[in-house]
Structure 1
Amino acid sequence: RRIGVLALGVALVVPLALPTLHGGLLGEAGSGVGAGNGRGGTISAVNPLVSLRDSLNVDDDRQVLSLRPSTGEVPDMYVRIVSLDDFDGTDWKPSQRHIGAVPGTFPEPVGLSEDVKRSTLRTVITAADWYAQDWLPMPYPPSGVRIDGNWRYEPVGMTLVGDHGQTTRGKTYQVTSLDLRPTAKQLAGAPKPPAALEREYTRVPARLPDVVARTAEEVTSGARNHYEEAVRLQDWFSVDGGFRYDTEVQVGRGANAIANFLKRKEGFCVHFSFAMAAMARTLGIPARVAVGFAPGTPQGDGSVSVSLKDAHAWPELYFQGVGWTRFEPTPTRGTTPAYTQPDAPSSARPDRELPSRGAAREPSAAATRGEDCATPPRSGACAGPSAAVAAP
């Protein structure tokens, strides 16, 4: 019954330990972005984010997307909806951006060099006939998309957004994307980013409590570069910091929310991603938060089923030469990137049988099962926010 309510667009606003916006991942779509002439315009967020915590605790999960990769191998694919890059100490939200016509081939991601190993993926995605989302879920970074309907392109986030009420409901589309495989050495040796980008994505408000920056410095003490700082933050949250994954946390909101989370050490993906992104910014690492879905469940027919419980949020940090790079601080959720584990051959797939509430009973410090287990398996279940758009 609760899933049915979500599908009808009734967003459940819950108290969180971190700043939140309001809106719904599964809510009814917005009004589109306006004229749709492909020659400019802007988008702005209207009620773009809510953490639908109850969707993690439903007994009857529900498929949102079906992915069918063109290769025989099923990748551990995150599907991204939108990035949140405007942080005022209380809210994370998408910045207002200019949009235009959807290009036939997308430009190369900002900051990506030819030295980074990559392969091209083609994925056919089918959205459920009840899933009405303004932003088009796509693997990141996309390099092209084939879809009918009224869509516009936002180049900074490399996202597509529906125009004139266009949504994902029942849509089947093909996305060409890059599977990037940077090395730890490339990330550690990343040069300084462009000044304008660094300035925009390291901005933190004056009212952010001092404990946030102080804790970031303590956790990363001794790190030789921003990459090592990022890995230490990720590992502190996900493995050795004593944090618990809990979808039923009820603590305060507002300017002190991140400080409360760092003190209580309980929360789910929204808390972890928001806190790590904010802490990274205090260290001078450009950071934003991505919203979408963690890797789904492979099916017998070669497809991948992405469900309500795969909804997720994660931080993206910028490294010149690689570009925007995913990290995974949420314990037992998602997959740990291989480039954050120099000695690990690959990331582990999510354990779909791991219950969300059960995970909350075990602190992250106890997540590993021995020195021969480089990464604990993580489930992709995490309440995910999304965005709606309206005419400027």
Structure 2
Amino acid sequence: TTWKPSKRSITTVPDGTFPTPAGLGPEIERAEVGTTISTADWYGQDWLPMPYPPSGVSIRGNWRYEPVGMTLVGDHGQDTRGMTYEVRSLDVRPTAEQLAGAPEPLAALKREFTQLPDSLPDVVHRTAREVTEGSASDYDRAVKLQDWFAVSGGFEYDTQVDVGSGSRAIARFLRDKQGFCVHYSFAMASMARSLGIPARVAVGFAPGTPQADGTVAVGLRDAHAWPELYFEGIGWTRFEPTPTRGSIPSYTQPDTEENALPDPARPSEAASAAPSAAPSASDGCTLERIRLDGGCPTESAEAVIAAGGDGPRWYTVLLWALGGLAVLLVPLTPMLWRLRTRAVRLGAHGRSEADAAPHVLAVWDELTDTAWDHGVSPDESLTPRKAAARVVRLGRLDEEAAASVHRVADAVEQVLYAPRPRPVAGLADDVRRVITGLRASSGRGARLRAVFAPRSTVRVVWQASAWWAGVRRRALALRPTWRRPSRQQG
């Protein structure tokens, strides 16, 4: 009925070099790549984004190691907000001949990664056999499945489809041939398992956008899912069945000069691995400024203070006035900050494709923060759809407000998975209906706290903490290193 992460034991992060990836033999060509990764202050996840397979990582904080997936998991509340870390990874380069000649995998691994539920529709296995008929190896079957989804099967990439849930959802996807990366990856992995090929689904990010300074920008629009199939001697190997997304691996294409193109999923050897130290020169109100600063500055007239007369000095009056204003404003600061943040988020227009994504994500942030203010704490490990269902359930929203929550969540999924997100009208009004619904379902005390002491203002503390940590890192980097003079033998 669903795919979900397997329950795995975690251990301490290995010192130095990580273990060799499962199944990778010494005869497979590989190169080690170094990557420096910086995450935005608003990107808080438990799982650390890393190129696969990693061979080492240098990072501060509380992290644990999951050896099967070779991933790092945050411990004791550790997440990815505002992190800068270095990863060494292997660029594994198998050939088609090596994949086609791969021996049978170990029985225990094959048994675990070919399991399928009894409720899986027969059409899945039947279609897999038809598509791969005449194949001489598991590699040939895998390539035929990939090409059928991505090229020859008549499938279309569409983030607006709803194939439903449960055991029949995959059958509807194979029938209608419309969906996004989640559908393609889950379908190919299920079909591969039905043919006896060990398979799993990876969730992460597709290659980002190269920048002028040599870095690569990876955003939420690059969120992606893809299947990985296991070949003994090579290990877990990426395939790309989703049309127009990701990149077709070179080892699944004919070895000709015409197809000898660089794989954008691999870091460029000529590109700098260092993060950009300078902000963008754009003066526009960007998504980063909305998320990190709470909005964009506006112009205001300068105040001119006149002096003269026999009364108190003008600066004395000013100091008393400022002191009195501070006494009034300090208790109201959380409320004023939330009102300003809400006005900025809901005031974005999102009328063009260029600003559709910032508008939708800002509106979603406002919805989840408002729910947090009313006692529904955020769970950023959930998908937008599941997060919306949680807000509706815990917030005890009526039918109209619940529909508004789901409309905003649908728009977020379109932003995350659609190659060209389309503007969606009325999202700000949807959030206002949700705010009204949350207030109606809350008690008087909860309503007052949501206004005067909103829980989501803790984000200001997080931002200040991240800023101070950055200042300390820069200060330590500038500290001189003292060395002893060498001793001379006389």
Query: 1:181 matched to which residue of 2?
Result: 93
Larger RCO of the pair (alpha carbons < 8 Å, separation 6+):
1
For 1:101, the equivalent position in structure 2 comes to: 12
Q: Which amino acid aligns with 1:217?
A: R
Render the CA deviation track for 1:204-250: whole Å, top value 9, x for unaligned.
11110000000000000000000000000000000000000001002
Structure 1 position 382, deviation (Å): 3.1
2:260 maps to which of 336, 345, 362: 345
Whether the 8 Å contact between 2:229 and 2:237 is mirrored in structure 1 is yes
Name the SS of the counterpart of 1:138 in structure 2: coil
Deviation readout 1:72-92 (Å, 9 max, x if unpaired): xxxxxxxxxxxxxxxxxx111
Q: What is the rounded CA distance, in whole Å, between the counterparts of 2:88 and 2:41 in structure 1?
A: 23
Shift of 1:347: 4.9
Give deviations 1:42-63, integer Å, cap 9, x for gaps.
xxxxxxxxxxxxxxxxxxxxxx
User: Which residue of structure 2 lines up, in the alignment, with residue 282 of structure 1?
Assistant: 194
3-state secondary structure, aligned to 1:191: coil
User: Matched residues in 1 for 2:2 and 2:11: separation?
Assistant: 27
Distance 2:262 2:133 in 1: 26
- Count of residues in correspondence between the two structures: 269
How far off is 1:381 after superposition?
6.9
Match of 1:318 in 2: 230
AA aligned to 2:417 is: C
SS at match of 2:36: strand
**Counterpart of 1:132?**
44
* 1:214 lines up with 2:129 in the alignment: no
Q: Secondary structure at the match of 1:278?
A: helix
1:114 matches 2:35 = no
Question: Which letter does structure 1 place at the counterpart of 2:170?
Answer: I
Cα distance change, pair 314–133 in 1 and its aligned pair in 2 (3 A):
same
Answer 1 or 2: which has greater strand percent: 1
CA distance in 2, matches of 1:348, 1:112: 20
Q: Which stretches in structure 1 are left out of the alignment for 5+ residues?
A: 1-89, 358-379, 385-392
Within-5 A mapping of 1:155-166: 155-166=67-78
The secondary structure found in structure 2 opposite 1:92 is: coil
Query: Counterpart of 2:168 in structure 1: which amino acid?
Result: N
Alignment pair present for 1:303 and 2:218: no
CA distance in 2 between counterparts of 1:246 and 1:198 reads: 33
Query: Which SS does the other structure have where 2:33 is aligned?
Result: strand
Q: For residue 373 of structure 2, what is the aligned residue in structure 1?
A: none
Say whether 1:142 aligns with 2:72: no
Deviation at 1:342, TM superposition (A): 2.5
Q: Which amino acid is the alignment partner of residue 276 of structure 1?
A: M
Q: CA–CA distance in 1 between the matches of 2:201 and 2:115?
A: 14
Question: What secondary structure is seen at the aligned counterpart in 2 of 1:139?
Answer: coil
CA 1:383–1:143 in 2, change beyond 3 Å: closer, same or farther? Answer: farther
Aligned with 2:163 (options 244, 251, 255): 251
Match of 1:382?
A: 417
Q: Say if 2:117 is the partner of 1:205.
A: yes
Q: Deviations over 1:95-149 (max 9, x none)?
A: 1111111002210000000111110000000001000000000000001000000
CA contact (8 A) 1:312 1:383 kept: no
1:373 match: none
1:193-212 deviation line (CA, Å, top 9, x unaligned): 00000000001111100000
CA distance in 1 between counterparts of 2:98 and 2:418 reads 32
Structure label with greater radius of gyration: 2
Distance 1:227 1:337 in 2: 13
- Alpha-carbon deviations, 1:145-172, whole Å to 9, x = none? 0000000001011000000000000000
Report deviation, 1:307.
Answer: 1.1
Which structure: greater helix fraction? 2
For residue 252 of structure 1, report the CA deviation from its aligned partner: 2.0
Task: Measure how far apart 1:310 and its partner are.
Answer: 0.5
Aligned to 2:328: none
Deviation per CA, 1:162-195: give whole Å up to 9, x if none: 0000000000000000000000000000000000
TM-score by length of 1: 0.67
The one-letter code of the counterpart of 2:227 is P
Q: Contact (CA 8 Å) 1:311, 1:383: kept in 2 or not?
A: no
- Whether 1:260 and 2:172 are equivalent positions in the alignment is yes
Corresponding position of 1:92: 3
For 1:259 and 1:102, the matched residues in 2 are separated by: 41
Q: Which residue does the alignment assign to 2:104?
A: 192
Q: 1:278 to 1:383 in 2, by over 3 A?
A: farther
Structure 1 residue 94: deviation in Å? Answer: 1.1
Pair 1:162–1:348, CA change in 2 (3 A):
closer
2:261 partner amino acid: S
Q: For the residues of structure 2 that align with 1:133 and 1:348, how far apart are their CA atoms?
A: 27
Alignment of 1:221-236 (within 5 A): 221-236=133-148
- Corresponding residue of 2:287: none
Q: Is the 8 A contact 2:63 2:78 kept in 1?
A: yes
1:93 shift after superposition = 1.1
Q: CA RMSD in A?
A: 2.0
Structure 2: tracts of 5 or more residues without a match:
266-352, 357-414, 420-490
Partners of 2:64 and 2:214 lie apart in 1 by 31
Correspondence 1:21-32 to 2 at 5 A: none
1:288 touches 1:315 (CA, 8 Å); kept in 2? yes
SS at match of 2:202: strand
TM-score normalised to structure 2 length: 0.53
- 1:22-61 alignment runs, 5 A limit: none
CA contact (8 A) 2:158 2:418 kept: no
Q: Within 2, Cα distance between the matches of 1:347 and 1:211?
A: 36
Provide the secondary structure at the position in 2 that maps to 1:93: coil
CA contact (8 A) 1:335 1:347 kept: no
